[in-house]
Amino acid sequence: MFGKAKWIWLNKDPEPNEYADFSVNFNYNGGKVVLKLCAETDYIVYFNGKPINHCQFAGYRNEKYYDEDDITEYCVKGENTLLITVRYEGITTFCHIEDGAGLIYSLECDGTQIAYSSENTLGRLSPKYVHHFIRLITDQLGATSTMTNRGEACEYAPCREVNICDNFKKRPVKRIVDLAPTPAKLIDVDGRKIYDLGKEDCGYVYLRVNCKKATDIKVAYGEHIVDGCVRYLIGPRDFSLDFECAEGKNYFEQYFVRVAGRYLEVFADDSAEILEIGIIPTIYPITEKPCRLEGIEKQIYDVSVRTLRLCMHTHYEDCPWREQSLYTLDSRNQMLFGYYAFEETDFARENLVFMSKGKLPDGMLEITYPTENSNVAIPFFSVHLPVAVYEYIEHTNDLTIVPEVMDSMVGILKCLYSWRDETGLITNQGKPYWNFYEWSDGNEGRKGFGMEGTHDLLINCAFVYSCSCLEKICKISGYAMPEFDTEAIKKAIVENFLNKETGLYNNCLENEIYTVIGNTFAMMIGLGTEQTLKALKGEYKDAGVVPATLSMLAFVYDMILEHDKENGQVFVLEDITKNYTYMLSKGATSFWETIKGEADFHNAGSLCHGWSAIPIYYYNRFYNDKFN
């Protein structure tokens, strides 16, 4: 696919956060021109001085993804200039695996290769960026990027060939699309330079500024201003971008860091006049299904859909502001809700296949994708891969996915099954495993819970439920179902976790606590009584049953609807209305990570989280006539 092209880099050893320009001139006399390329870590393509494409789809160490774009519309008769700026980040994050610096490209006209990356390609350190400065935004997102208009341009020189995997696949999903720039409006907050985008959004910061002298400008970004400013320093996190301005007029577009939020705050002295600041929004192109709801339910539905879209770019993201990471359980929610909100299901399919490739040596999955050696993985998230695959098949009837993910699904369940001990239960493992379930007491895998050698209700119930999903997949696709004695595990669950006096299931064998989500999963595998159902509906609050968070309410609601045919729908609708009108009353333009909002997680709560778009799913179930 790349013909004579080779992976190349500058004729020097790369250092983290390094930026390189690669330049090619060619003559055009007509025909279809196609550019194929892949970069480590990220790229921007300029054609005749205009940015036309950007954003590398991050791959695994043994599998890279390339882009193929028809760029004929940008070509002019005669000489044309192709400039590719590549950023080498040089660190492994929750979204990218460090695998060296490199670029490979091929330029073809009517199928004939007219230019390609080789040792003859000319490259240089880019004068538009500050090199080798490492400041993390978050551990999950990785390093920030600093632009400069004070850099000195060095001469172009021939490149060298580098050794990077040549197993290529085409980008599995559509490219993200940049929309028209959205300028932010200066608002009056105690004389601070705070700019409001009007709603939560996601994209790339642009800045137009006139400086009386060379000036450094910092742009902080965030989702709220409850402190009277943009809260951009949160523990070790730093949600800001730096720009080095020259004297006179400056213009920047920062395509190497996708930001999210509603507010931008500028830190600069009085020598800098901000002419315009805002973001270039970017979205995944997908068609929304029509909705004819009205009133508050229409408002809740629309904000839910917007929440989903803000968490869809190259893959699903838990949140666009703090992490932009692809988690198995988060994306299971996003897929399920998306089947009802969007016309396309390809995005869900390719995310499932992509996640299935992020395997640990024992068969479990990494915490996010793509990453490796993260020193932390969540068994409860891994075990939901078969659940998400079954739900995908249920909504699409697409069985072609099964061969691509079967080994991973079986590997996860076999690994968990091997963790049983003399109790008959799956036992919690130590590092690298984090025995996390949700952000609530007793479920965080901390504070005495989820310790190595202990036994949790949720992972055992989830294993049984996941096995039932895999069994259904095998039955309809012709695969043999591996042997797992789930009835023995269910028996052990009853013997070890059931409180016969209350009819509730304890969350942890070694440390007693009762939770709504634990009892929900017990009901999902056919256990539980009328007492258990009361716990799900919050009727055991005085007994100290820990309620479920937004991320888990879909499981809870499903069990209430299944076991309370008479009043379940009323309960679910009232609960949705209560939670989501509360967020709207607080000014939400997307729905939050938890009901505590920005104050959660030591003031680092996300105000846009894909797992919270639950109303889409239930409004479709209850008001089917409003969606057809």
Percentage helix, strand, coil for the chain under 3-state DSSP, each rounded to 5: 30, 30, 45
Same domain, residue pair 591 and 611: yes
User: Mean pLDDT over residues 389-397, rounded?
Assistant: 99
The verdict on residue 336 lying in a domain is: no
SS3 sequence, 218-232? Answer: EEEEECCCCCCCCCC
- For residues 514 and 546, is the Cβ–Cβ distance under 8 A? yes
Task: Tell me the residue length of the chain.
Answer: 628
DSSP class per residue in 551-562 = GGHHHHHHHHHH
Same domain, residue pair 190 and 273: yes
Same domain, residue pair 508 and 416: yes
Residue-wise pLDDT tens digits, 140-174:
999 999 999 999 999 999 999 999 999 999 999 99
Residue-wise pLDDT tens digits, 1-24:
899 999 999 998 999 999 999 999
The verdict on residue 2 lying in a domain is: no
Side-chain-side CA neighbours of 572 within 13 Å: the count stands at 26
The verdict on residue 339 lying in a domain is: no
For residue 203, what are the CA distances in angstroms to 178, 280, 312, 319, 498? 8, 5, 12, 13, 49
- For residues 355 and 365, is the Cβ–Cβ distance under 8 A? yes
> Which residue in the block uniquely carries the two structure tokens 């160490």?
61
The verdict on residue 1 lying in a domain is: no
The verdict on residue 190 lying in a domain is: yes
User: Mean pLDDT over residues 212-221, rounded?
Assistant: 98
The verdict on residue 103 lying in a domain is: yes
Same domain, residue pair 157 and 52: yes
Q: Say which CATH number the domain at 507 has.
A: 1.50.10.10
Same domain, residue pair 292 and 240: no
Same domain, residue pair 157 and 197: no
Q: Give this prediction's pTM.
A: 0.97
- Report helix angle 295-310 to 615-622, nearest 10: 140
Same domain, residue pair 156 and 42: yes
- Which residue in 457, 382, 464 sits closest to 423, CA to CA? 457
| pLDDT band for position 542 (cuts 50, 70, 90) | low
User: Mean pLDDT over residues 263-278, rounded?
Assistant: 98
Same domain, residue pair 434 and 516: yes
- Domain boundary residue among 173, 197, 213? 173
Distance CA 97, CA 261 (A): 26
Q: Say which CATH number the domain at 223 has.
A: 2.60.120.260
User: Mean pLDDT over residues 339-356, rounded?
Assistant: 98
The verdict on residue 553 lying in a domain is: no
Structure confidence at residue 541 (pLDDT): 60
Same domain, residue pair 275 and 290: no
- Domain boundary residue among 548, 575, 607? 548
User: Mean pLDDT over residues 373-381, rounded?
Assistant: 91
pLDDT at 449 over 90: no
Structure confidence at residue 448 (pLDDT): 80
Same domain, residue pair 23 and 155: yes
Structure confidence at residue 169 (pLDDT): 98
Structure confidence at residue 490 (pLDDT): 99
**How many folded domains does the chain comprise?**
4
- Report helix angle 385-396 to 328-341, nearest 10: 10
Same domain, residue pair 373 and 462: yes
Residue-wise pLDDT tens digits, 93-108:
999 999 999 999 999 9
Residue-wise pLDDT tens digits, 455-501:
999 999 999 999 999 999 999 999 999 999 999 999 999 999 999 99
Range of the domain at 582: 285-327+565-628
Residue-wise pLDDT tens digits, 573-592:
999 999 999 999 999 999 99
The verdict on residue 23 lying in a domain is: yes
- Domain boundary residue among 123, 155, 173? 173
Same domain, residue pair 233 and 86: no
Distance CA 57, CA 64 (A): 8
